[in-house]
Structure 1
Amino acid sequence: MEKQTVSKPGFARIVLFAAFLLAIVHQYLFFDKLPGISYPIFAVLFYAFMLYFAKERLRKFNWFSYVWLGSIFLLSLTYVLFANWFFFGLNFLVIPALILLHMTYMLSYRQPSWSGIGLIGAALEHLFPQNLRHWGTAVKLLRRGQGKMADERKQVLLRIVIGLLISAPLLLIVTSLLSTADGVFNQLLGSLPEYFASISFGEGIFRVLWILLLSLGMFGLAWGFVDSKSYTRTLPANGPDALTHPAVQTAAPETEGIGIDDPIIITTILLAVNVVYMLFVSVQFSYLFGAWEGILPDNSTYADYARSGFFELIMVTSINFGILLLSLLAVRKAGGGLKRVIQLLLYILVLCSMVMLYSAYSRLTLYEEAYGYTYIRFLVHAFMIFLGLLLILAAVRITRVQFPLLRCYIVLGLLAYVLMNYIGMDRIIARQNIQRYEVSGSLDAAYLARLSADVMPELIEFSRQEKGILDEELQNRLADQVEPLRNWPSFNLARFQERRALEQYFEKGAGN
């Protein structure tokens, strides 16, 4: 473990005070308010707090650090730009997790690799043991020096009490005179009791606890990076980074016991599984393309045909990936002809998986054309594409042993998630349903009206062109809206534009 640099207590008090101020800002921005522009503002403040006070631990930024940081900032901006309910909730979990992992990578004494499982362990270490042990540090910082200044503080408090006692009668006289002289001032004084009565005692306690706990948590996190206690444990040579850095693994001794990644065992598994998959794929080809012409398997409806594709997808995800990743470990141990056999079987496995994935994708597309487009169906489509890319990367890794598979998965996963936030899911769903209406004349107006504020311009334009086909739903949506949010931290561009567009639309007579 590298030498620790423990800062002076004075600097620690500054960090604690800054954490307290940042907690006050957080309480102001988020208490009883929807996240909006407040989210990216606080994200920037939090990064400034962490990177400045723990700068002694800061690692040099590399290309992935910038990609990571940019992804976090783009995701935080979604609370300003969009109003999709799915990502609105999911990002509550994803963004803090990405921030914690990024902070750990940039500041942890363990300096974990961004592509290893060790990063997760280090992040959990800094979130809990490193953080919590410095809550006591914060208490010690507040208590330190009290003994020397006890007498002086007593004298100061005594003087304050005397001053208040003298001020009380003077304040009564002065306020009475001022309230008589100025009616506005009198109204202000009269409104004070109502203001204090409107403040809930329980709410006040909750706000104070919010600030105290959050300030302790942020101080503990920052000071846990600055003053770390080593919890590092040595991982085995064939640990979780085996797929990422296969070259550094030591060869297994000839006397090693039989494991599940034994090449012979893996070859047997692949042979058995591929026989079943090839049979399944051959059956798929008999009607994979025929379904588009109205040819379906016997006793099968459109819904049954599409729903069965999801079970295929689950099988590909849960079984094939497990076998594929496990087999990649076995390839390292195999040699000669056996290694080439395993590689061939893995290519067959990937190929069969891609065919099944395409089958499931086409079934869902057919289902959407018959029954419409929804959030869940769109997300399943996106997941199928993502899974197909993962399979392609795994296929590259079969023969190229040095290919950084885990790193590519992490980069692909991060970029894909950011893309899903910005791709405009609601707009795509609305456009697809509108196109379906133009072809079939079938439209689920109620579902379209339940889409997020992001899609309102398209819905208004469609209703105008179709002579008010959505006017009733849009009118109900406008009526259900509350008054414009007056708390600027909750400002959201999509919701602001939605309300303005709806008001302008109905002021002009709508589509009638």
Structure 2
Amino acid sequence: MSRLRTGVPGTIPVGTLWCALATALLSAALLGDGIGLNLLVVAIPAALATYFAVRPTTRRPRPWTVVWAVGGLALLAVPALRDAGWPSFLAIVSAFALGSLALHGSRSWIGVFLGSLGVLTSVAEALGWAARGIRARMTGSRGRWGVVLRSAAVAFVLLLVFGALFASADAAFADVLGDLTPDVSISDSPWRFFLGLLGLVGALAAAYTAAAPVRWDGLTTEPGKPRGRLEWALPLIVLNLLFAAFLAIQLTVLLGGYDKVMAETDLSYSEYARQGFWQLLWATLLTLLVIALALRWAPRGGPRDRTLVRGVLGTLCLLTLVVVASALRRMDLYVDAYGLTRLRISVAAVELWLGVVLVLIMAAGFFGARMLPRAVAASAALGVLVFGLVSPDGLIAEQNVQRYRDAHSIDIEYLRGLSADAVPALNTLPEPLRSCALEEIQRGLLDSDEPWYATSWGEARARDILGDWKPVHRLRDCGALSTGDNGGDRGGSGETYDPYDPY
């Protein structure tokens, strides 16, 4: 670590200390009530702490640094917009990774991977850096710090006394003050103290990393021993022929129709579409592994070797793209027949992203692979951002409601477990389906007392739509309302359980 880090930064700037303190206070006051806009509010002073820390150094923001920083802040908008926890979790993790990359500025595969977690390695040094800076500034300036502390204490007492008087004098002012002021109680003080400490340590670690980043690109791996042309190309050419034969059969299936194939293979509609998708997904993942290993041991003798590598691997990437399209088509058929679920939309999104990675690999074959690691990381972050912004729960509800209108087939037991993001679509269902789908969501909204900064836009919109609505029908067994064949894994008739979709 001492070899990879650029050096020891100078005395911690005063602006960094104040911003780290602000991050700690905001974390303790806002994050204990839930996740929403408060994450973005807490991230702003933490980002300012890194700005003040890097100003005395020679580091200057580069285009990719701006991309990572802006992307990380944009990802924090997902929890503020969506009530569903699963896309918000992915967005928060991705935002942390992008923020760490912005601080390190890595380029290689190892650098991008370790750089996305590298801010954690600066925690111990950051605390010592801050302690030394505070001790240095306290020496010889005790009187000035005493004035600051006394002034802050007097200002706090004045705000507390006059704020209480004005709140008791006017109910409207009391409501506004109550909405803006965090609800802090003695019982959750240890939890809020932990959140404040986490915010303080995180801001200091980010600032220290910005001032003295770890150059993870310094960790290199020896390239594999190049193989001969025949030894290297023959297995890949055979694999390309296998892919081509499979895709030729797929073309025959598309022209002849799925009904004919199912009649010949004794497979049900769901088994053909469902099992085929998972096999093709694994085929895509394994192909990416084959490409990585092939590049490691590719012949590197001259222009003819480079042409051979580009031709063989380019053909494999192109054929794999068709496999990706076939997998997505199977998932589309399965969703049309049995509805959309969280797992189905998630794995379809992963398959689509793998297709993007293949396109990036093909582009790197023509334009060079220097930017490939960062491009793959950026595509993953962009995919997570888009996935969160499109509201997966909302799309699931819309697709299943439309499917009910077209075929009168619905799995109400599954839909009633969605988040508040699904309320606009579920609200259009006829009774008693509407009451059964929204009863549990409405109960959760009424029981929730989260403040404005911990409430997502999706939850606020659901509150506006439902208001104080109460279910017209009280149903103990909503599963009895499920109609049609829901794909077996959702309780439909005539199909077996899907072990790949337990949600």
For each residue in 1:365-391, what CA deviation from the matched residue of structure 2 results, as whole angstroms up to 9, or x when unmatched? Answer: 221122111111112222222222222
Counterparts of 1:289-300 in structure 2 under 5 Å?
289-293=255-259, 295-296=261-262, 297-300=264-267
Match of 1:136 in 2: 128
Match of 1:470 in 2: 434
Instruction: Specify whether residues 69 and 362 from structure 1 end up closer, same or farther in structure 2 by C-alpha distance, changes over 3 A only.
Output: same
- How far, CA to CA, are the matches of 1:272 and 1:24 in structure 2? 62
| TM-score, normalised via structure 2 length | 0.73
- How far, CA to CA, are the matches of 1:501 and 1:30 in structure 2? 27
1:374·1:429 contact (CA, 8 Å) conserved in 2? Answer: yes
Answer with 413-422 or 207-216: which moved more: 207-216
**Unmatched runs of 5 consecutive residues or more in structure 2:** 147-167, 169-184, 474-503
2:281·2:327 contact (CA, 8 Å) conserved in 1? Answer: no
Give the alignment partner of residue 303 of structure 1, picking from 270, 275, 279: 270
1:285 aligns with 2:251: yes
**Residue 25 (structure 1) shift:** 1.5
**Residue 359 (structure 1) shift:** 2.3
Secondary structure of the corresponding residue to residue 117 of structure 1:
helix
| Amino-acid identity (%) | 22
**Residue 292 (structure 1) shift:** 4.2
Q: How many residues get paired?
A: 434
- How far, CA to CA, are the matches of 1:135 and 1:351 in structure 2? 50
For each residue in 1:430-465, what CA deviation from the matched residue of structure 2 results, as whole angstroms up to 9, or x when unmatched? Answer: 2222232222211122323322222312221x22xx
- How far, CA to CA, are the matches of 2:190 and 2:470 in structure 1? 45
Give the alignment partner of residue 451 of structure 1, picking from 412, 415, 418: 418
Radius of gyration: which is bigger? Answer: 1
Instruction: Specify whether residues 4 and 351 from structure 1 end up closer, same or farther in structure 2 by C-alpha distance, changes over 3 A only.
Output: closer
1:40·1:76 contact (CA, 8 Å) conserved in 2? Answer: yes
Secondary structure of the corresponding residue to residue 56 of structure 1:
coil
Match of 2:28 in 1: 27
Secondary structure of the corresponding residue to residue 321 of structure 2:
helix
Counterparts of 1:337-348 in structure 2 under 5 Å?
339-348=306-315
**Residue 467 (structure 1) shift:** 5.1
1:316 aligns with 2:283: yes
For each residue in 1:253-283, what CA deviation from the matched residue of structure 2 results, as whole angstroms up to 9, or x when unmatched? Answer: xxxxx82655443212202322333333333
1:351 aligns with 2:318: yes
For each residue in 1:408-437, what CA deviation from the matched residue of structure 2 results, as whole angstroms up to 9, or x when unmatched? Answer: 323322322221121232332222222322
Give the alignment partner of residue 110 of structure 2, picking from 112, 117, 120: 117
Give the alignment partner of residue 265 of structure 1, picking from 224, 227, 231: 231
Instruction: Specify whether residues 3 and 86 from structure 1 end up closer, same or farther in structure 2 by C-alpha distance, changes over 3 A only.
Output: closer
- How far, CA to CA, are the matches of 1:44 and 1:145 in structure 2? 25
Paired letter, 2:110: I
Instruction: Specify whether residues 231 and 488 from structure 1 end up closer, same or farther in structure 2 by C-alpha distance, changes over 3 A only.
Output: same
2:342·2:396 contact (CA, 8 Å) conserved in 1? Answer: yes
Match of 2:87 in 1: 87
- How far, CA to CA, are the matches of 1:18 and 1:424 in structure 2? 33
1:376 aligns with 2:343: yes
Paired letter, 1:92: I
1:428 aligns with 2:395: yes
Instruction: Specify whether residues 287 and 72 from structure 1 end up closer, same or farther in structure 2 by C-alpha distance, changes over 3 A only.
Output: same
Answer with 92-101 or 308-317: which moved more: 308-317
Instruction: Specify whether residues 210 and 72 from structure 1 end up closer, same or farther in structure 2 by C-alpha distance, changes over 3 A only.
Output: closer
Instruction: Specify whether residues 467 and 142 from structure 1 end up closer, same or farther in structure 2 by C-alpha distance, changes over 3 A only.
Output: closer
Counterparts of 1:146-185 in structure 2 under 5 Å?
none
Paired letter, 2:464: R
Instruction: Specify whether residues 98 and 488 from structure 1 end up closer, same or farther in structure 2 by C-alpha distance, changes over 3 A only.
Output: same
2:24·2:196 contact (CA, 8 Å) conserved in 1? Answer: yes
- How far, CA to CA, are the matches of 1:343 and 1:3 in structure 2? 37
Match of 1:490 in 2: 454
Give the alignment partner of residue 218 of structure 1, picking from 200, 203, 206: 203
Match of 2:361 in 1: 394
Instruction: Specify whether residues 400 and 328 from structure 1 end up closer, same or farther in structure 2 by C-alpha distance, changes over 3 A only.
Output: farther
**Unmatched runs of 5 consecutive residues or more in structure 1:** 106-111, 157-183, 185-197, 240-257
1:263·1:330 contact (CA, 8 Å) conserved in 2? Answer: no
Secondary structure of the corresponding residue to residue 56 of structure 2:
helix
Match of 1:69 in 2: 69
- Superposition CA RMSD, Å: 3.9
1:503 aligns with 2:467: yes
Paired letter, 2:36: G
For each residue in 1:166-223, what CA deviation from the matched residue of structure 2 results, as whole angstroms up to 9, or x when unmatched? Answer: xxxxxxxxxxxxxxxxxx9xxxxxxxxxxxxx734xx544544543454244324423
Paired letter, 1:278: A
1:434·1:443 contact (CA, 8 Å) conserved in 2? Answer: yes
